[in-house]
A and B are shown apart, each in its own frame.
Chain A
Amino acid sequence: MSVLLRFAHAVDSLNDWVGRIVKWLILLVTLISAGNALWRYVLGESSNAGLEIQWYLFGAVFLLAAGDTLTHNGHVRIDFIYGRLSRRGQILIDIFGTLLFLLPFTALIIWFSWPMFMLAWQSGEMSPDAGGLLRWPVKLLIPVGFGLLALQGVAELIKHAAALCEEPSA
């Protein structure tokens, strides 16, 4: 169990570290977007690279931070029933949901998105718009983001199982 728990804590720190870094991209994308609007107003022209980098960055934020958000219970639930359960009941639902909902879903997306990335990487796919950006980085974000989320799912599973062992089965 202790090996598993150590793995879980390593995943925790990994996603914590990722979360700490990507949050600064929010500030960056805010400034870029405001800059784009000013630029267009002042110079009367807009750059496709400037527009595309906005959604590249935002995609990076919400995909890469998904694991960290999971650790902090940041993905909203409908706690109408969940909120009234005992701690043990909540843990059981979380284990059930992680095994049957989260992990299959993330695995499927990783499985299907990897070929999409490989294709873009090998063909050097570019944005169809003039002056646009290379496509593979943004396609790589999908398997990486869902990978981080899946890893965190496994870590949560381990932590929950450990908590269940400690919790008296009353």
Chain B
Amino acid sequence: MSMEWMAPAMFAGLVLVLLLGYPVAFSLAANGLIFGIIGLKLGFLDMSLMQALPERVLGIMANQTLLAIPFFTFMGLILERSGMAEDLLESVGQLFGAIRGGLAYAVIFVGALLAATTGVVAASVIAMGLISLPIMMRYGYDARLATGVIAASGTLAQIIPPSLVLIVLADQLGVSVGALYQGALVPSLVLTGLYVLFVWLVTMFKPAAAPALPLSARPLRGKALWGSALRAIVPPLLLIFLVLGTIFLGWATPTEGGAMGATGALLLAWARRRLPLALLKQALNTTTRLSSFVMFILIGSTVFSLIFRGVNGDLWVEHLLTGLPGGTLGFLIVVNLLVFVLAFFLDFFEIAFIIIPLLAPVAQKLGIDLIWFGVLIGINMQTSFMHPPFGFALFYLRSVAPKEIKTTDIYRGAIPFVLIQLVMVVLVIAFPDIASSAKPKALSSGVIEVPMEQDGYGDYYLPKEWR
């Protein structure tokens, strides 16, 4: 009997088991094990494959890149509560308030600035939802525009470096995080620009949707105004240098950049006396649980893919995806549709750990630059935060938005921004140069591959051909 049916059956089993709703990590692992046992019984697999599991777990532990996850999460949580976002929104809102759509521009600007500081969506969305949204509503903004721009700008945290999405993608694609950061830099700024353009178009065609702030709402003028804006902008700029600066200059690995950012955020919060013990404990608690569930999904998906590859599932997927009409373009279109649709149901950790390892080798075989591919997928994954009804950004926004804002407004407000994100996906495919990593010189001088792989276990975690 041939084992050709095993891979499709396993994939079908995966869908079924995940839909059941038991925690993803254990469902993935169990699905792998069940088919592992079937494979053993039928003689397709060898026991040594199962015995390799603890080594894989050890390899996941030894992964220096993923260590960045707790650092950036911790940093984001500290920033969320330390009032930096609040100060920024208030003073930048004053600065831009005089022009039509000014508050919306301020939200985009602050969203991008926060995004360049940390890699966590919740922090920015919650802060902007609490501070900017009530002001926007008070001065007559259209609820859909206001909520959409907040959710989208908050989601920028996942594409502007140092984003968690890019770290996880880099790890799964086997490329350097620094290179992926460089690749994402221009596209993320273009995306930010498109949001600005959209707001500008709204102010042109529907001026009532985004009015300027009246004089009475702008108490600060002249020097005082610029002073307050400067005071608010300097701390995040410092943090951006601490994290991105040190990474791009090659002084620190992205992981260490995250650790320094978190330390910097702690110091800032402490200096402003905004770091009570309860807050610190809560941030540590959340970080611990997030780390645990993320790493266990990775362990589960490792079990799954170990067995899946054991039954030649990788060859099956490759066969399926290379046989598409249209060659590389056909592959890109299918992959992007797949990620877009899956993003309705899965969060980005799940997509990155389950789907990307299946796609990466095919992309490589088709001669696609994996860094460019990572940027493309990263932009596409932005939509997973903005999809009604399960998008995380919408969910966070709903939790802090005033009651008079209807949930349907939040959903409908998100739609134009999801469309803009898709336009960006098309742009990156049409003009691959904006996200390309084809600057090996700039890269080697900018990013030093510091001791990421010093440990002998670094390679256990995925076989060489999958890295």
Contact = CB atoms under 8 A, between A and B. Distances in A.
Interface string A81-92: 111010000100
Contacts of A43: none
Contact of A62 (B58, B291, B456): B291
Interface stretch (B59-67, B165-173, B307-315, B319-327): B59-67
Contacts of A138: 58, 61
Contacts of A54: 64, 67, 255
* Best-buried of A26, A85, A127 by chain B (most CB within 10 Å): A26
B189 to A, nearest CB: 27
A108 B181 CA distance: 38
Given A59-B61, A81-B19, A138-B58, A23 B288 contact: yes
A31 B18 contact: no
B455 A109 contact: no
A26 B284 contact: yes
* Best-buried of B293, B350, B450 by chain A (most CB within 10 Å): B293
Contacts of B349: 76
B113 interface: no
Contact of B345 (A70, A78, A101): A78
Given A105-B29, A112-B50, A74 B263 contact: no
Interface stretch (B38-46, B119-127, B295-303): B295-303
* Best-buried of A37, A94, A96 by chain B (most CB within 10 Å): A37
B54 A24 contact: no
A58 B70 contact: yes
Interface stretch (B20-28, B222-230, B379-387): B20-28
Contacts of A58: 61, 67, 70, 291
A33 B262 CA distance: 10
A34 B288 contact: no
Interface stretch (A6-14, A45-53, A158-166): A45-53
Given A29-B70, A61-B288, A116-B55, A94 B22 contact: yes
B355 to A, nearest CB: 14
Nearest to B256: A37
B451 interface: yes
B33 interface: yes
Given A54-B64, A113-B57, A142-B54, A75 B23 contact: yes
A79 to B, nearest CB: 6
Contacts of B252: 37, 41
Given A37-B260, A108-B53, A112-B53, A72 B22 contact: no
A26 B26 contact: no
Contacts of B51: 112
B24 A97 contact: no
Contacts of A124: none
B54 A116 contact: yes
Interface residues of A, number: 68
B289 A52 contact: no
B13 to A, nearest CB: 12
Interface in A124-147: 127-129, 132, 138-139, 141-142
Given A66-B296, A108-B50, A139-B58, A97 B23 contact: yes
Given A23-B284, A33-B255, A129-B456, A66 B23 contact: no
A94 B27 CA distance: 11
Contacts of A97: 20, 22-23, 26-27, 30
B18 A37 contact: no
A162 B321 CA distance: 48
B26 to A, nearest CB: 4
B26 A75 contact: yes
Nearest to A51: B451
Interface in A54-77: 54-55, 58-59, 61-63, 65-66, 68-70, 72, 74-77
B454 A101 contact: no
Contacts of A66: 292, 296
Nearest to B265: A30
Contacts of B53: 108-109, 112-113
Contacts of B64: 51, 54-55
16 contacts: A27-B74, A30-B263, A46-B451, A54-B64, A58-B67, A65-B291, A69-B293, A72-B289, A75-B293, A76-B25, A76-B297, A77-B23, A78-B346, A100-B30, A102-B22, A128-B456
Interface of B: 17-27, 29-30, 33, 50-51, 53-55, 57-58, 61-64, 67, 70-71, 74, 246, 251-253, 255-260, 262-263, 266, 280-281, 284-285, 287-297, 300, 303, 345-347, 349-350, 450-451, 454-456
Given A30-B263, A34-B263, A142-B61, 11 more contacts: A26-B291, A30-B71, A30-B262, A55-B63, A61-B70, A65-B288, A105-B29, A105-B30, A109-B57, A116-B55, A127-B455
